[in-house]
Chain A
Amino acid sequence: MDKGQIRELIAKRVAKEFNDGDVVNLGIGLPTLVANYLPDDIDVLLQSENGFVGLGPAPEEGKEDKDIANAGAQPVTILPGGAFFNSAESFTIIRGGHVDATVLGALQVDAKGNLANWMIPGKMVPGMGGAMDLVVGAKKVIIAMEHTQKGNHKILKECTLPLTAANQVNLIITEMAVIEVTSDGLILREIGPEATIEDIKAATGADLIVADDVKKMEI
Protein backbone atom coordinates (compact mmCIF):
# COMPACT_ATOMS: atom_id res chain seq x y z
CA MET A 1 0.00 0.00 0.00
CA ASP A 2 1.23 3.51 -0.72
CA LYS A 3 0.77 6.36 1.73
CA GLY A 4 -2.57 7.42 0.22
CA GLN A 5 -3.97 3.88 0.37
CA ILE A 6 -2.81 3.48 3.97
CA ARG A 7 -4.53 6.72 5.01
CA GLU A 8 -7.70 5.74 3.16
CA LEU A 9 -7.77 2.31 4.81
CA ILE A 10 -7.36 3.78 8.29
CA ALA A 11 -10.01 6.46 7.68
CA LYS A 12 -12.48 3.89 6.35
CA ARG A 13 -12.00 1.64 9.35
CA VAL A 14 -12.37 4.52 11.83
CA ALA A 15 -15.62 5.55 10.12
CA LYS A 16 -17.18 2.24 11.22
CA GLU A 17 -16.77 3.06 14.90
CA PHE A 18 -19.68 5.49 15.19
CA ASN A 19 -23.31 5.06 16.14
CA ASP A 20 -26.40 6.87 14.93
CA GLY A 21 -26.67 10.23 16.68
CA ASP A 22 -23.04 10.45 17.77
CA VAL A 23 -21.29 13.79 18.19
CA VAL A 24 -17.75 13.37 16.84
CA ASN A 25 -14.68 15.60 16.68
CA LEU A 26 -12.12 14.80 14.01
CA GLY A 27 -8.58 16.12 14.41
CA ILE A 28 -6.65 17.86 11.66
CA GLY A 29 -4.82 15.65 9.15
CA LEU A 30 -5.62 11.96 8.69
CA PRO A 31 -8.64 12.07 11.07
CA THR A 32 -10.27 14.71 8.83
CA LEU A 33 -10.44 12.09 6.04
CA VAL A 34 -12.82 9.99 8.16
CA ALA A 35 -15.64 12.39 7.23
CA ASN A 36 -15.48 11.08 3.63
CA TYR A 37 -16.40 7.55 4.68
CA LEU A 38 -19.18 7.97 7.26
CA PRO A 39 -21.94 5.41 6.62
CA ASP A 40 -25.02 6.88 4.92
CA ASP A 41 -27.45 5.07 7.20
CA ILE A 42 -26.36 6.82 10.39
CA ASP A 43 -26.50 10.46 11.46
CA VAL A 44 -23.17 11.72 12.83
CA LEU A 45 -22.83 15.33 13.99
CA LEU A 46 -19.28 16.58 13.46
CA GLN A 47 -17.99 19.19 15.89
CA SER A 48 -15.37 21.80 15.05
CA GLU A 49 -13.74 23.09 18.24
CA ASN A 50 -13.44 26.63 16.91
CA GLY A 51 -17.18 26.90 17.34
CA PHE A 52 -19.77 24.84 15.51
CA VAL A 53 -21.46 21.49 14.95
CA GLY A 54 -22.63 20.28 11.56
CA LEU A 55 -19.21 20.54 9.93
CA GLY A 56 -19.60 19.93 6.21
CA PRO A 57 -17.18 19.33 3.34
CA ALA A 58 -14.93 21.94 1.76
CA PRO A 59 -16.86 24.43 -0.40
CA GLU A 60 -16.52 24.61 -4.17
CA GLU A 61 -13.73 26.88 -5.27
CA GLY A 62 -14.89 30.47 -5.25
CA LYS A 63 -17.72 29.73 -2.77
CA GLU A 64 -15.62 29.98 0.40
CA ASP A 65 -17.16 31.90 3.31
CA LYS A 66 -14.49 33.89 5.20
CA ASP A 67 -16.45 33.31 8.44
CA ILE A 68 -16.49 29.51 8.23
CA ALA A 69 -13.23 27.60 8.59
CA ASN A 70 -12.31 24.46 10.48
CA ALA A 71 -9.89 24.39 13.42
CA GLY A 72 -7.02 24.17 10.94
CA ALA A 73 -8.12 27.36 9.12
CA GLN A 74 -9.25 25.48 6.00
CA PRO A 75 -12.49 26.74 4.42
CA VAL A 76 -15.38 24.39 5.19
CA THR A 77 -19.17 24.47 5.14
CA ILE A 78 -21.90 24.01 7.72
CA LEU A 79 -24.70 21.54 7.01
CA PRO A 80 -28.42 22.17 7.52
CA GLY A 81 -29.16 21.57 11.21
CA GLY A 82 -25.76 22.84 12.32
CA ALA A 83 -25.14 25.47 14.99
CA PHE A 84 -22.48 28.04 15.84
CA PHE A 85 -21.30 28.95 19.36
CA ASN A 86 -18.41 30.63 21.16
CA SER A 87 -15.25 28.92 22.45
CA ALA A 88 -16.48 28.54 26.05
CA GLU A 89 -19.58 26.74 24.84
CA SER A 90 -17.49 24.70 22.42
CA PHE A 91 -15.41 23.42 25.31
CA THR A 92 -18.48 22.94 27.46
CA ILE A 93 -19.46 20.46 24.76
CA ILE A 94 -15.97 18.93 24.69
CA ARG A 95 -14.96 18.88 28.34
CA GLY A 96 -18.48 18.27 29.60
CA GLY A 97 -18.68 14.80 28.07
CA HIS A 98 -21.06 15.73 25.24
CA VAL A 99 -18.71 14.48 22.52
CA ASP A 100 -19.16 10.75 21.92
CA ALA A 101 -15.87 10.20 20.12
CA THR A 102 -12.76 12.10 19.18
CA VAL A 103 -10.29 10.92 16.55
CA LEU A 104 -6.71 12.16 16.75
CA GLY A 105 -3.30 11.33 15.40
CA ALA A 106 -0.41 10.45 17.69
CA LEU A 107 3.35 10.74 17.91
CA GLN A 108 3.28 8.02 20.56
CA VAL A 109 0.60 6.05 22.38
CA ASP A 110 1.23 3.49 25.10
CA ALA A 111 -0.13 0.40 26.83
CA LYS A 112 -1.66 2.51 29.60
CA GLY A 113 -3.64 4.64 27.16
CA ASN A 114 -1.28 7.60 27.50
CA LEU A 115 -1.07 9.81 24.43
CA ALA A 116 1.71 12.11 23.21
CA ASN A 117 0.81 14.21 20.18
CA TRP A 118 1.58 17.85 20.85
CA MET A 119 5.30 18.46 21.13
CA ILE A 120 8.82 17.16 20.55
CA PRO A 121 11.06 19.07 22.97
CA GLY A 122 13.64 21.16 21.15
CA LYS A 123 12.16 20.36 17.75
CA MET A 124 8.47 21.05 17.44
CA VAL A 125 6.32 22.94 19.93
CA PRO A 126 3.13 23.96 18.12
CA GLY A 127 0.97 23.90 21.23
CA MET A 128 -1.81 21.58 22.26
CA GLY A 129 -4.73 23.56 20.82
CA GLY A 130 -7.89 21.75 21.85
CA ALA A 131 -6.35 18.27 21.98
CA MET A 132 -5.87 18.03 25.74
CA ASP A 133 -9.50 18.95 26.40
CA LEU A 134 -10.79 16.63 23.67
CA VAL A 135 -8.86 13.61 24.93
CA VAL A 136 -9.97 14.18 28.52
CA GLY A 137 -13.57 15.06 27.70
CA ALA A 138 -14.66 12.77 24.87
CA LYS A 139 -16.36 9.52 25.87
CA LYS A 140 -14.26 7.53 23.40
CA VAL A 141 -10.75 8.43 22.25
CA ILE A 142 -9.68 6.84 18.98
CA ILE A 143 -6.11 7.17 17.73
CA ALA A 144 -5.87 6.99 13.93
CA MET A 145 -2.31 6.76 12.70
CA GLU A 146 0.22 4.79 10.70
CA HIS A 147 1.46 1.90 12.81
CA THR A 148 5.11 3.00 12.76
CA GLN A 149 7.05 6.13 11.88
CA LYS A 150 9.71 5.19 9.30
CA GLY A 151 9.95 1.80 10.97
CA ASN A 152 10.18 3.22 14.49
CA HIS A 153 7.62 2.12 17.07
CA LYS A 154 4.85 4.55 17.92
CA ILE A 155 2.90 2.12 20.11
CA LEU A 156 5.04 1.74 23.22
CA LYS A 157 5.13 0.34 26.75
CA GLU A 158 5.43 3.91 27.94
CA CYS A 159 5.45 7.20 26.05
CA THR A 160 8.76 9.09 26.17
CA LEU A 161 7.46 12.40 24.78
CA PRO A 162 5.48 14.92 26.88
CA LEU A 163 1.91 13.66 27.29
CA THR A 164 -1.26 15.16 25.89
CA ALA A 165 -3.25 13.21 28.46
CA ALA A 166 -2.81 10.23 30.76
CA ASN A 167 -4.88 7.01 30.54
CA GLN A 168 -7.50 8.30 28.11
CA VAL A 169 -7.02 6.37 24.86
CA ASN A 170 -9.59 3.63 24.14
CA LEU A 171 -8.80 2.40 20.65
CA ILE A 172 -5.84 2.51 18.24
CA ILE A 173 -6.57 2.04 14.54
CA THR A 174 -3.67 1.65 12.10
CA GLU A 175 -3.22 0.08 8.67
CA MET A 176 -1.98 -3.06 10.45
CA ALA A 177 -4.31 -3.46 13.39
CA VAL A 178 -7.20 -2.44 15.58
CA ILE A 179 -6.00 -2.45 19.17
CA GLU A 180 -8.13 -1.89 22.22
CA VAL A 181 -6.55 -0.30 25.31
CA THR A 182 -7.76 -2.05 28.47
CA SER A 183 -6.68 -2.21 32.10
CA ASP A 184 -5.14 -5.60 31.25
CA GLY A 185 -3.06 -4.06 28.45
CA LEU A 186 -3.33 -3.80 24.68
CA ILE A 187 -5.68 -6.29 23.04
CA LEU A 188 -5.29 -7.03 19.34
CA ARG A 189 -8.84 -7.16 17.96
CA GLU A 190 -8.36 -6.95 14.20
CA ILE A 191 -5.58 -7.61 11.72
CA GLY A 192 -5.01 -5.36 8.71
CA PRO A 193 -5.46 -6.75 5.17
CA GLU A 194 -1.72 -7.09 4.52
CA ALA A 195 -0.48 -7.90 8.04
CA THR A 196 0.14 -11.03 10.10
CA ILE A 197 0.11 -11.28 13.88
CA GLU A 198 3.91 -11.66 13.78
CA ASP A 199 4.25 -8.45 11.67
CA ILE A 200 2.07 -6.53 14.11
CA LYS A 201 3.99 -7.77 17.15
CA ALA A 202 7.28 -6.79 15.51
CA ALA A 203 5.92 -3.32 14.67
CA THR A 204 4.61 -2.72 18.19
CA GLY A 205 6.81 -1.64 21.11
CA ALA A 206 4.50 -3.02 23.79
CA ASP A 207 3.09 -6.43 24.67
CA LEU A 208 -0.02 -7.38 22.72
CA ILE A 209 -2.71 -9.74 23.94
CA VAL A 210 -4.24 -11.46 20.91
CA ALA A 211 -8.00 -11.60 21.36
CA ASP A 212 -9.52 -15.09 21.20
CA ASP A 213 -11.84 -13.89 18.48
CA VAL A 214 -9.26 -11.80 16.58
CA LYS A 215 -10.41 -11.24 12.99
CA LYS A 216 -9.39 -9.68 9.71
CA MET A 217 -10.15 -5.98 9.44
CA GLU A 218 -13.27 -5.40 7.36
CA ILE A 219 -13.67 -2.14 5.51
Chain B
Amino acid sequence: MSRRVLPGFRLSLGFTFAYLTVMVVIPLAACVAKAATLTPSEFLAAVWTPRARAAYVLTVGASLASAVVNVLLGVLLAWVLVRYRFPLKRLFDAIIDLPFALPTAVAGLVYSSLHVENGWLGQFLVPHGIELAYTRAAIVLVLVFIGLPFVVRTLQPVLESVEHEVEEAAAMLGASRWQTFTRVILPMLLPAIITGFALAFARSLGEYGSVVFVSGNMPFRTEIASRLVVDRLEEFEYAQATAIAVVLLAISFSTLIAINLLERWSQRTYV
Protein backbone atom coordinates (compact mmCIF):
# COMPACT_ATOMS: atom_id res chain seq x y z
CA MET B 1 0.00 0.00 0.00
CA SER B 2 2.84 2.34 0.76
CA ARG B 3 3.82 2.32 -2.92
CA ARG B 4 0.45 3.74 -3.93
CA VAL B 5 1.37 7.36 -4.13
CA LEU B 6 -1.47 8.23 -6.45
CA PRO B 7 -4.80 8.99 -4.89
CA GLY B 8 -8.14 7.32 -5.41
CA PHE B 9 -7.25 3.67 -5.37
CA ARG B 10 -9.93 2.59 -2.92
CA LEU B 11 -12.60 4.83 -4.37
CA SER B 12 -12.05 3.90 -8.03
CA LEU B 13 -11.62 0.20 -7.38
CA GLY B 14 -14.55 0.14 -4.99
CA PHE B 15 -16.83 1.88 -7.47
CA THR B 16 -15.67 -0.34 -10.34
CA PHE B 17 -16.24 -3.43 -8.28
CA ALA B 18 -19.69 -2.35 -7.12
CA TYR B 19 -20.78 -1.33 -10.62
CA LEU B 20 -19.63 -4.59 -12.13
CA THR B 21 -21.31 -6.57 -9.38
CA VAL B 22 -24.63 -4.89 -9.92
CA MET B 23 -24.46 -4.74 -13.72
CA VAL B 24 -22.75 -8.00 -14.61
CA VAL B 25 -22.28 -10.44 -11.74
CA ILE B 26 -25.77 -10.38 -10.20
CA PRO B 27 -27.61 -10.67 -13.55
CA LEU B 28 -25.35 -13.53 -14.63
CA ALA B 29 -25.86 -15.21 -11.28
CA ALA B 30 -29.63 -14.82 -11.69
CA CYS B 31 -29.33 -16.53 -15.05
CA VAL B 32 -27.43 -19.45 -13.61
CA ALA B 33 -29.70 -19.65 -10.57
CA LYS B 34 -32.78 -19.75 -12.76
CA ALA B 35 -31.32 -22.49 -14.92
CA ALA B 36 -30.40 -24.39 -11.79
CA THR B 37 -34.06 -24.60 -10.78
CA LEU B 38 -34.47 -27.15 -13.56
CA THR B 39 -33.50 -30.75 -12.90
CA PRO B 40 -30.82 -32.12 -15.24
CA SER B 41 -33.42 -33.98 -17.29
CA GLU B 42 -35.68 -30.92 -17.51
CA PHE B 43 -32.68 -28.86 -18.52
CA LEU B 44 -31.77 -31.34 -21.22
CA ALA B 45 -35.36 -31.47 -22.43
CA ALA B 46 -35.37 -27.68 -22.72
CA VAL B 47 -32.07 -27.24 -24.51
CA TRP B 48 -31.93 -30.37 -26.63
CA THR B 49 -35.17 -30.25 -28.62
CA PRO B 50 -34.85 -30.74 -32.38
CA ARG B 51 -35.88 -27.13 -32.86
CA ALA B 52 -33.21 -25.92 -30.44
CA ARG B 53 -30.57 -28.13 -32.03
CA ALA B 54 -31.40 -26.73 -35.45
CA ALA B 55 -31.10 -23.22 -33.98
CA TYR B 56 -27.65 -23.92 -32.47
CA VAL B 57 -26.39 -25.44 -35.68
CA LEU B 58 -27.66 -22.48 -37.66
CA THR B 59 -26.24 -19.92 -35.21
CA VAL B 60 -22.80 -21.49 -35.05
CA GLY B 61 -22.76 -22.49 -38.72
CA ALA B 62 -23.83 -19.09 -40.04
CA SER B 63 -21.35 -17.37 -37.69
CA LEU B 64 -18.54 -19.63 -38.85
CA ALA B 65 -19.43 -19.14 -42.51
CA SER B 66 -19.63 -15.38 -42.15
CA ALA B 67 -16.34 -15.27 -40.22
CA VAL B 68 -14.64 -17.27 -42.99
CA VAL B 69 -16.00 -14.90 -45.63
CA ASN B 70 -14.88 -12.01 -43.46
CA VAL B 71 -11.35 -13.37 -43.31
CA LEU B 72 -11.14 -13.61 -47.11
CA LEU B 73 -12.75 -10.22 -47.58
CA GLY B 74 -10.72 -8.73 -44.75
CA VAL B 75 -7.39 -9.87 -46.17
CA LEU B 76 -8.40 -8.50 -49.57
CA LEU B 77 -9.57 -5.14 -48.21
CA ALA B 78 -6.65 -4.69 -45.84
CA TRP B 79 -4.19 -5.53 -48.60
CA VAL B 80 -5.76 -3.16 -51.08
CA LEU B 81 -6.10 -0.34 -48.56
CA VAL B 82 -2.55 -0.65 -47.26
CA ARG B 83 -0.71 -1.41 -50.47
CA TYR B 84 -2.41 0.31 -53.35
CA ARG B 85 -3.39 3.83 -54.23
CA PHE B 86 -6.63 4.54 -55.97
CA PRO B 87 -9.24 7.30 -56.11
CA LEU B 88 -11.53 7.72 -53.08
CA LYS B 89 -9.37 5.36 -51.07
CA ARG B 90 -9.85 7.33 -47.84
CA LEU B 91 -13.60 7.21 -48.25
CA PHE B 92 -13.59 3.46 -48.77
CA ASP B 93 -11.31 3.09 -45.79
CA ALA B 94 -13.66 5.13 -43.60
CA ILE B 95 -16.89 3.35 -44.56
CA ILE B 96 -15.49 0.00 -43.46
CA ASP B 97 -16.33 1.12 -39.93
CA LEU B 98 -19.98 1.75 -40.79
CA PRO B 99 -21.14 -1.58 -39.32
CA PHE B 100 -19.68 -0.44 -35.97
CA ALA B 101 -21.72 2.72 -36.03
CA LEU B 102 -24.92 1.60 -37.72
CA PRO B 103 -27.77 0.25 -35.57
CA THR B 104 -28.08 -3.40 -36.50
CA ALA B 105 -31.82 -3.07 -36.98
CA VAL B 106 -31.19 -0.65 -39.83
CA ALA B 107 -28.75 -3.08 -41.41
CA GLY B 108 -31.33 -5.85 -41.13
CA LEU B 109 -34.09 -3.66 -42.52
CA VAL B 110 -32.18 -2.57 -45.60
CA TYR B 111 -30.64 -5.98 -46.29
CA SER B 112 -34.04 -7.61 -46.15
CA SER B 113 -35.50 -5.15 -48.60
CA LEU B 114 -32.54 -5.23 -51.01
CA HIS B 115 -32.95 -8.90 -51.77
CA VAL B 116 -36.70 -9.32 -52.09
CA GLU B 117 -37.98 -9.92 -55.59
CA ASN B 118 -38.42 -6.26 -56.47
CA GLY B 119 -35.55 -4.97 -54.35
CA TRP B 120 -32.49 -3.20 -55.78
CA LEU B 121 -30.43 -6.38 -55.87
CA GLY B 122 -33.21 -8.96 -55.79
CA GLN B 123 -34.52 -7.87 -59.18
CA PHE B 124 -31.29 -9.11 -60.75
CA LEU B 125 -30.67 -12.11 -58.52
CA VAL B 126 -34.12 -13.67 -58.07
CA PRO B 127 -34.69 -14.33 -61.81
CA HIS B 128 -31.44 -16.33 -61.73
CA GLY B 129 -32.71 -18.44 -58.88
CA ILE B 130 -30.60 -16.66 -56.26
CA GLU B 131 -33.04 -16.00 -53.46
CA LEU B 132 -31.35 -14.13 -50.65
CA ALA B 133 -34.41 -12.95 -48.74
CA TYR B 134 -35.50 -14.94 -45.70
CA THR B 135 -32.98 -17.72 -46.24
CA ARG B 136 -29.92 -18.97 -44.40
CA ALA B 137 -27.76 -17.29 -47.01
CA ALA B 138 -29.40 -14.00 -46.05
CA ILE B 139 -28.31 -14.57 -42.45
CA VAL B 140 -24.73 -15.22 -43.50
CA LEU B 141 -24.77 -12.16 -45.73
CA VAL B 142 -25.96 -9.77 -43.05
CA LEU B 143 -23.48 -11.29 -40.58
CA VAL B 144 -20.71 -10.65 -43.10
CA PHE B 145 -21.75 -7.00 -43.04
CA ILE B 146 -21.86 -6.91 -39.23
CA GLY B 147 -18.42 -8.50 -38.89
CA LEU B 148 -16.78 -6.62 -41.76
CA PRO B 149 -14.61 -4.21 -39.75
CA PHE B 150 -13.09 -6.76 -37.38
CA VAL B 151 -10.69 -8.58 -39.70
CA VAL B 152 -9.81 -5.48 -41.72
CA ARG B 153 -9.06 -3.38 -38.67
CA THR B 154 -6.94 -6.03 -36.96
CA LEU B 155 -5.00 -6.73 -40.15
CA GLN B 156 -4.30 -3.19 -41.31
CA PRO B 157 -1.75 -2.17 -38.67
CA VAL B 158 0.00 -5.52 -38.89
CA LEU B 159 0.26 -5.32 -42.65
CA GLU B 160 1.57 -1.77 -42.37
CA SER B 161 4.25 -2.95 -39.99
CA VAL B 162 5.62 -5.61 -42.35
CA GLU B 163 9.03 -4.19 -43.30
CA HIS B 164 9.57 -3.91 -47.02
CA GLU B 165 12.99 -5.43 -46.43
CA VAL B 166 11.34 -8.74 -45.60
CA GLU B 167 9.66 -8.85 -48.98
CA GLU B 168 12.86 -7.75 -50.67
CA ALA B 169 14.73 -10.50 -48.84
CA ALA B 170 12.26 -13.06 -50.15
CA ALA B 171 12.66 -11.74 -53.68
CA MET B 172 16.45 -11.78 -53.39
CA LEU B 173 16.24 -15.42 -52.37
CA GLY B 174 14.33 -16.18 -55.55
CA ALA B 175 10.73 -16.25 -54.31
CA SER B 176 8.05 -15.20 -56.76
CA ARG B 177 5.50 -12.61 -55.71
CA TRP B 178 2.96 -15.35 -54.98
CA GLN B 179 5.48 -17.37 -52.99
CA THR B 180 6.40 -14.26 -51.04
CA PHE B 181 2.74 -13.67 -50.25
CA THR B 182 1.84 -17.21 -49.25
CA ARG B 183 5.05 -18.16 -47.45
CA VAL B 184 6.19 -14.91 -45.91
CA ILE B 185 3.43 -12.32 -45.65
CA LEU B 186 0.46 -14.54 -44.91
CA PRO B 187 2.19 -16.42 -42.07
CA MET B 188 3.16 -13.06 -40.56
CA LEU B 189 -0.47 -12.00 -40.69
CA LEU B 190 -1.76 -15.26 -39.25
CA PRO B 191 -2.05 -14.17 -35.60
CA ALA B 192 -3.99 -11.07 -36.66
CA ILE B 193 -6.17 -13.14 -38.98
CA ILE B 194 -6.99 -15.52 -36.13
CA THR B 195 -7.85 -12.62 -33.85
CA GLY B 196 -10.00 -10.97 -36.50
CA PHE B 197 -11.73 -14.25 -37.30
CA ALA B 198 -12.49 -14.86 -33.65
CA LEU B 199 -13.80 -11.34 -33.09
CA ALA B 200 -16.07 -11.57 -36.13
CA PHE B 201 -17.24 -15.02 -35.07
CA ALA B 202 -18.00 -13.96 -31.51
CA ARG B 203 -19.85 -10.88 -32.71
CA SER B 204 -21.94 -12.98 -35.11
CA LEU B 205 -22.85 -15.51 -32.42
CA GLY B 206 -24.56 -12.84 -30.36
CA GLU B 207 -26.06 -10.83 -33.22
CA TYR B 208 -29.79 -10.50 -33.05
CA GLY B 209 -31.17 -7.25 -34.43
CA SER B 210 -30.13 -7.60 -38.02
CA VAL B 211 -30.75 -11.34 -38.28
CA VAL B 212 -34.39 -11.25 -37.18
CA PHE B 213 -35.10 -8.82 -40.02
CA VAL B 214 -33.56 -10.85 -42.80
CA SER B 215 -34.17 -14.44 -41.70
CA GLY B 216 -37.94 -14.72 -41.46
CA ASN B 217 -37.41 -16.69 -38.23
CA MET B 218 -38.84 -19.98 -39.44
CA PRO B 219 -38.27 -22.75 -36.88
CA PHE B 220 -35.90 -25.48 -38.09
CA ARG B 221 -34.89 -23.38 -41.08
CA THR B 222 -33.96 -19.81 -40.35
CA GLU B 223 -34.43 -19.44 -36.61
CA ILE B 224 -31.29 -18.55 -34.67
CA ALA B 225 -30.76 -19.46 -31.03
CA SER B 226 -31.25 -15.91 -29.73
CA ARG B 227 -34.61 -15.80 -31.46
CA LEU B 228 -35.59 -19.04 -29.78
CA VAL B 229 -34.80 -17.48 -26.40
CA VAL B 230 -37.09 -14.57 -27.23
CA ASP B 231 -39.82 -16.96 -28.39
CA ARG B 232 -39.66 -18.93 -25.16
CA LEU B 233 -39.70 -15.68 -23.19
CA GLU B 234 -42.76 -14.46 -25.04
CA GLU B 235 -44.44 -17.75 -24.08
CA PHE B 236 -43.43 -16.93 -20.47
CA GLU B 237 -41.31 -20.10 -20.34
CA TYR B 238 -38.63 -18.33 -18.30
CA ALA B 239 -36.80 -21.43 -17.16
CA GLN B 240 -36.63 -22.90 -20.64
CA ALA B 241 -35.55 -19.60 -22.12
CA THR B 242 -32.86 -19.34 -19.48
CA ALA B 243 -31.67 -22.89 -20.16
CA ILE B 244 -31.14 -22.08 -23.82
CA ALA B 245 -29.50 -18.80 -22.82
CA VAL B 246 -27.08 -20.73 -20.64
CA VAL B 247 -26.15 -22.89 -23.62
CA LEU B 248 -25.57 -19.71 -25.64
CA LEU B 249 -23.44 -18.30 -22.83
CA ALA B 250 -21.45 -21.53 -22.73
CA ILE B 251 -20.80 -21.30 -26.48
CA SER B 252 -19.73 -17.65 -26.20
CA PHE B 253 -17.43 -18.26 -23.26
CA SER B 254 -15.78 -21.28 -24.79
CA THR B 255 -15.24 -19.22 -27.92
CA LEU B 256 -13.59 -16.53 -25.82
CA ILE B 257 -11.34 -19.06 -24.14
CA ALA B 258 -10.49 -20.65 -27.47
CA ILE B 259 -9.61 -17.22 -28.85
CA ASN B 260 -7.28 -16.55 -25.95
CA LEU B 261 -5.57 -19.90 -26.30
CA LEU B 262 -5.22 -19.52 -30.06
CA GLU B 263 -3.79 -16.04 -29.69
CA ARG B 264 -1.33 -17.16 -27.09
CA TRP B 265 -0.31 -20.10 -29.23
CA SER B 266 0.16 -18.06 -32.37
CA GLN B 267 2.11 -15.34 -30.62
CA ARG B 268 4.23 -17.56 -28.43
CA THR B 269 6.95 -18.36 -30.90
CA TYR B 270 7.30 -15.21 -32.87
CA VAL B 271 6.41 -11.72 -31.86
A and B physically associate:
no
